[in-house]
Structure 1
Amino acid sequence: MTVSNPPVYGEGDATLQAVGGLLGLQKLVETFYRIMENTPEFRPLFDMHPSNTALTIDKLVSFLSGWMGGEKLFSKKYGPTSLPQAHAHLIVTEKEKAMWLNCMAAALDELDYPDALKAYLLPQLAFPAERIRQVSAARHQ
C-alpha cells in the first residue's frame, strides 16, 4: 500500500482545490465582497469598484481560478489582463493594499479555511497587491 502526500499549495490546481474548486472560490469571493461592502473599515475599497458587483465578483473569480492553477477563465471571458494596468486608474496606497488583504483574511476566517491555507494564500496575494500599489504610486505621483 502506498501513501500519497497531500497536494502542496501552489502546485497544479492544489490551491484552487483547497478552497473548494470553482464553487468554493465563488463562495469565497462573494463573502469577500459582502464583508467589504458591510464592514466600515473595508467600505472605502468597495466604493472604489463599479456598481455592477456581479461583474466584479465574476472577474475576480475568473482571475483567481487561473491564478490558483485552475482554468484560465479570465482570458477566455475578458481577454488578456495586466492587474497593475487594470487598477492603474485607482489610487492604491499601503492603506488600500492592507485593507484588501485584511478583507480577504476576514473572508477566509469566516469560511473557516485551514490556517495552513491562509498562511500560504495571504502572502501570495500580497505580491500582486504590492505590484498594483507600485504602479499606482508611479502613476499618481
Structure 2
Amino acid sequence: MDERDLELLRVAQDGLSLEERPYRIWGEALGMGEEEVISRLLAMEEEGIIRRFSATIGHRALGILANALIVWRVPPERVEEVGLAYAAAEEVTHCYERETAEDWLYNIYTMVHSRSREECLEIADRLARVSGISEYIVLFSEKEYKKTSARI
C-alpha cells in the first residue's frame, strides 16, 4: 500500500456518486485513470485492506424505528458457541465479545433493529430461548447523535 492507495481510500470512504462511471470521477479527482482506480481497489481487496463495498440504507425511511443493544451474561465456556449463534441470527447486525467488570458481568453484546420496541423484545426473547441464556438486558436507543463508518 502506498500514498496513492491512501488517497484513494480517503476519497472512497465518502461513497460512490450515482454516476454511470463513478470510478472515473474518483480517478479524475486523484489524477489517475479509471482503470488504475479499479486495479488499486481490487488489489487492496485481495490483500484484505478492503473487506467489502456496501450500501448504507436509510433504515428510518424503511420503517426501522427501534434499535436495541442486548447485553448477555454468557458463561465463559459457552462464549464462542453463543457468540457464533447470535452472529448468525438474521436480525443481529453487530455481535461482540467484551470483557466483564466486577459490577458488570455482561460479556456478549448484540445489536438488533426492528419496526418497534416490542419486536426487539421478541427477538431478544427468541435468542434467549434458542441459546438457553436467560440473563440479559435490552437497552434501547433514545436519540442518535452521530452515525458514521470508520474513517482513515
In the superposition, the TM-score normalised over structure 2's length comes to 0.26
User: Comparing both chains, which one has the higher relative contact order based on Cα–Cα distances under 8 Å and sequence gaps of 6 or more?
Assistant: 1
Normalized per residue, which structure has more helix? 1
User: Rg bigger for which structure?
Assistant: 2
